[in-house]
Amino acid sequence: MVIRRTNKHKLWHAGEIEIAIAKHLNPRQNLIVPNVFWGWGNYEKDLVVVTSNHYAWEIEIKVSLADLKKDNNKRHGHYNNKIKRLYFAVPDKLKQEALKLIPERAGLFTVSEDSSGGLTFVSLVRAPTINSRAEKIEDKDITKLYELAAMRIWDLKTHLYRLQVELTMATTTTRKKEGW
């Protein structure tokens, strides 16, 4: 999956990686919800993906070497019997360090851009070990995840609306100053 980046960045933001991974995993075929803390253990999952066969994947996003190292100190260790596959997603420049630092059972996605900074690519570097004890996700839990996703849409729409109002006001002010 390829997506266009709107501007060039030297540093990756977790949100950019999150969007690239979500597009790569196809939200039209899978339920993909960011920042899930509810109901599944005592830690937040950066992305939860529920496949059409009702199994969940966890995607942990890391943007720096310090972020990768810090994850090793987490007590939960990303163990959860609701999660069938655990992946980490990192900028391509962290690939070698990530392979050394992430759990052996975890898969690894890398995110990179072309030389112009215009296209984003996602690559599967290592497949995860399947958690054979993972339970299928029950319909009531899937419904809860849809509810969480819907609530986040309205928060995002509110934020985008406020940004649009601010931009409109700034543009109007600039035009008045310039004598439009």
Query: Quick one: pLDDT band at residue 7, thresholds 50, 70, 90?
Result: very low
Q: How far apart are CA 40 and CA 138, in angstroms?
A: 12
Q: What is residue 117's predicted lDDT score, i.e. its pLDDT?
A: 67
Q: Which residues, other chains included, contact 91 with Cβ-Cβ below 8 Å and sequence gap of 6+?
A: 12, 17, 63, 110, 111, 112
Q: What is the pLDDT of residues 107-151, one digit of tens each?
A: 999 999 877 666 689 999 999 999 999 999 999 999 999 998 888
Q: Which residues, other chains included, contact 85 with Cβ-Cβ below 8 Å and sequence gap of 6+?
A: 55, 57, 58, 107, 128, 130, 131
Q: Give the CA diameter of the chain.
A: 68
Q: What is the pLDDT of residues 22-71, one digit of tens each?
A: 999 999 999 999 988 877 777 788 999 999 999 999 999 999 999 999 88
Is the pLDDT confidence value at 158 over 70? yes
Q: Name the strand (E) or helix (H) holding 120.
A: strand 119-126
Write down the pTM of the prediction.
Answer: 0.80
Q: What is residue 91's predicted lDDT score, i.e. its pLDDT?
A: 95
Is the pLDDT confidence value at 74 over 80? no
Is the pLDDT confidence value at 8 over 60? no
